[in-house]
Structure 1
Amino acid sequence: MTSQRPTVAIAHDYLTQRGGAERVVLAMAAAFPEAPIYTTLYEPRDTFPEFGDLTIKTSWLNRIRLFRRHHRLALPFLPLAASSTRIDADVVLVSSSGWAHGFRTPGRKVVYCYSPARWLYQSRRYLGDKPSFIESLGLWVLRPLLIRWDRRAARSAHAYVAISSIAQDRILIEYDRSSVVIPAPRPNTVARPPEPMPDVVDWLDGDAFELCISRLLPYKNVSTIVEAYASEPRRKLVIVGKGPQADELRAMATDNVRILESITDGQISWLYRQSRALVAISYEDFGLTPLEAASFGKPSLVLRWGGYIETMVDGVTAVFIPEPTVAGVREGLSRLDSQEWDESRITEHADRYAEEVFVDAIRELVKQQSD
Structure 2
Amino acid sequence: MNSNLGRVAIVTDQMTAFGGADREMLSLLKLIPTSDIYTVLFNPEGYKNIDIKQKIFTSFVQKLPFKYRFSKHLKILNPIIYEEFDLGKYDTIITLSAGPARGIIPDINQTHIAMVMTPPRSLWDHELNVRGSKLRNIYRPISNILNNYLRLWDTSLVPRVDYWIANSTFIANKIKKRYGVKSKVIYPGISNEYFEKFKKEEIDNILLRYQIPQDFVLIVSRLYDYKRIDWAIKSCIKTKDNLVIVGEGPDYKYLKKLSKGYENIYFLGFLDNDRDVRMLYNQAKVLLFCGVEDFGLVPVEAMAQGTPILAFREGGVTETVLENVCGQFFLDNDELTKLLKKFDKKGYNEDKIVDRAREFSEKVFLENLNQYLKQIHD
Q: TM-score, normalised by structure 2?
A: 0.89
Q: Distance in 2 between matches of 1:222 and 1:363?
A: 36
Q: Is the 8 A contact 1:298 1:346 kept in 2?
A: yes
Displacement of 1:199 in angstroms is: 8.2
C-alpha change, 1:193 and 1:148, in structure 2 (3 Å) is same
Partner of 1:44: 44
Q: Distance in 2 between matches of 1:202 and 1:27?
A: 30
Please, which moves more after superposition, 277-286 or 60-69?
60-69
2:125 aligned to which of 122, 127, 152: 122
Partner of 2:172: 168
Displacement of 1:158 in angstroms is: 0.4
Q: Distance in 2 between matches of 1:349 and 1:70?
A: 40
- Matched letter for residue 95 of structure 2: V
C-alpha change, 1:166 and 1:59, in structure 2 (3 Å) is same
Q: Distance in 2 between matches of 1:196 and 1:65?
A: 43
Partner of 1:113: 116
Q: Is the 8 A contact 1:155 1:175 kept in 2?
A: no
Aligned residues: 366
Please, which moves more after superposition, 103-112 or 46-55?
46-55
Pairwise CA RMSD: 2.5
Partner of 1:217: 224
Q: Is the 8 A contact 2:194 2:304 kept in 1?
A: yes
Q: Is the 8 A contact 1:67 1:74 kept in 2?
A: no
SS where residue 285 of structure 1 aligns?
A: coil
Does residue 256 of structure 1 match 2:257? no
C-alpha change, 1:217 and 1:188, in structure 2 (3 Å) is farther
1:159 aligned to which of 160, 163, 179: 163
Listed as ranges, the gaps of 5+ residues in structure 1 are none
Q: Is the 8 A contact 1:277 1:299 kept in 2?
A: yes
- Once the two structures are superposed, residues 131-180 of structure 1 have per-residue CA deviations (whole angstroms, 9 ceiling, x without a partner) of 81232132123112211211122321001111111111111111111111
- Once the two structures are superposed, residues 188-233 of structure 1 have per-residue CA deviations (whole angstroms, 9 ceiling, x without a partner) of 5526797769685277565311110111112111011111111122
C-alpha change, 1:134 and 1:140, in structure 2 (3 Å) is same
Q: Is the 8 A contact 1:171 1:177 kept in 2?
A: yes
Q: Is the 8 A contact 1:187 1:292 kept in 2?
A: no
Displacement of 1:11 in angstroms is: 1.3
Partner of 1:32: 32
Q: Is the 8 A contact 1:301 1:336 kept in 2?
A: no
Q: Distance in 1 between matches of 2:144 and 2:316?
A: 29
Partner of 1:231: 238
Q: Distance in 1 between matches of 2:102 and 2:5?
A: 23
Partner of 1:240: 246
Q: Distance in 1 between matches of 2:204 and 2:47?
A: 20
2:364 aligned to which of 346, 349, 357: 357
Question: Any residues of structure 2 matched to 1:172-187 within 5 Å, and which?
Answer: 172-186=176-190
Percent identity of paired positions between Structure 1 and Structure 2: 26
Q: TM-score, normalised by structure 1?
A: 0.91
C-alpha change, 1:292 and 1:172, in structure 2 (3 Å) is same
Please, which moves more after superposition, 41-50 or 260-269?
41-50
C-alpha change, 1:132 and 1:205, in structure 2 (3 Å) is closer
Q: Is the 8 A contact 1:9 1:38 kept in 2?
A: yes
Displacement of 1:53 in angstroms is: 2.6
- Once the two structures are superposed, residues 285-314 of structure 1 have per-residue CA deviations (whole angstroms, 9 ceiling, x without a partner) of 221111010011111111111212111101
1:345 aligned to which of 346, 352, 355: 352
Please, which moves more after superposition, 42-51 or 254-263?
42-51
C-alpha change, 1:192 and 1:154, in structure 2 (3 Å) is farther
Question: Any residues of structure 2 matched to 1:130-209 within 5 Å, and which?
Answer: 132-186=136-190, 188-190=192-194, 200-201=207-208, 206-209=213-216
- Matched letter for residue 317 of structure 1: C
Listed as ranges, the gaps of 5+ residues in structure 2 are none
